[in-house]
Structure 1
Amino acid sequence: MASSPEDGGRSKAAPAGGEEVTETETGTEILADDTPVDLSDLRWADAPAFILFWVLAFVVFLQFFTRYILNDSLGWTEEIARYLLVCVAFVGAIMAVRKNSHISVEFFYRYLPYKARRWLITLVDLSRIVFFIAMTVICIKLANKTNQKMASIEVSKAVIYWIVAAAFVAMTFYSLRVAQRHWKAKATSPSPEDSHAQVMD
């Protein structure tokens, strides 16, 4: 796009994705996106993941500060940060299950006939529910058998397994709700295209 003398040799391209791109003589400047973040899909059930994340961030910062600024690292921060990372991963997965936003391969799915897609969705839903139930049982068994304490603090490692088990219980619950939405979409959609749009939402 040609520039004009009034804009000082600059020309602005059309915004893409909320970002404003400005071309200058020295190169291209990309201005920050000022579009407000949409938080309407957040629920109170997502709060534990955010709390654990910020506790993890604080512990990691504390480890960095004491090691590199004070030259006297706190020994428990490394181990606790590792366990907190595990908890953040599993508790955060609850949010992904609730939104049905886990990574999935849809390439072959889109080329299947409508009835085959319906059966495949049902199979995926049932497999996911069975998997989460099985992992819940395994975590509970591990928690009951774990008597070892953490190396840095006097807390049983079973606490980690109980947190993961609770996360799998929540994932099982939300998987059942996702499956229910899929079945409702199958029953109420007037056309295969509408049903596909609701199921993949």
Structure 2
Amino acid sequence: MHRNARIVATVAIAATLIPNVSVICAYAYFKAEAVAETQRQELPAFFANSIKHAFAAGETYALLRDVGVPRGPASYAVYRLGQLNEYAEFYGRPVRKRDPTREIYKDLWNNASGVLAADWVDRQGLSGSKNRLKAIGLMSARDTLLGTFMDSRIPERVSGKRPETSDLQQALKAFRQDRSPVYGIIERALPPIRVRDRPGSQAFA
């Protein structure tokens, strides 16, 4: 193969692989941090998935804010990205392995928790992934995040009498209808997380 052709082929392969590698690395990072925070908060192991969703959403929101996207559009962008992620997971799996309707709703709830936690940290004059993760961990310890899809805060209408049902569109529709009240529930759970000493400090209690 001619040298220039090899270079073009190498660049093309890299352009294909790098995004996939980046996604895999990001997933591994969020998962590892979520597991560690779950252990720090002495929560049941299943909370790691909830914290992972919240942390990924919070970091995405913080990144958008850092590049100048206003709060409202940044929050909505993360909400839409969360929906796209659910589409990818749903249609990228065999039918028998797809998440139940209630699990999808749970993920969207926890994404919202991550966004609001990241915004709360920013409003306190704090910054950094560690503070955002700690806020999410404390919210989990205070039962703000949904740990399982059987949580009673998920309305029965999401899946009816069959919690194992897997219906992506129903989950998205139900959460879209509930989005505003869900945000209100999560926001009311944030004030007890108090900044240590003063807003300019780098940690909170």
Structure with bigger RCO (C-alpha 8 Å, 6+ apart): 2
- Superposed pair shares fold, TM > 0.5: no
Q: Which has the higher helix share?
A: 2
Quick check: which has more Rg, 1 or 2?
Answer: 1
> TM-score w.r.t. structure 2 length?
0.28
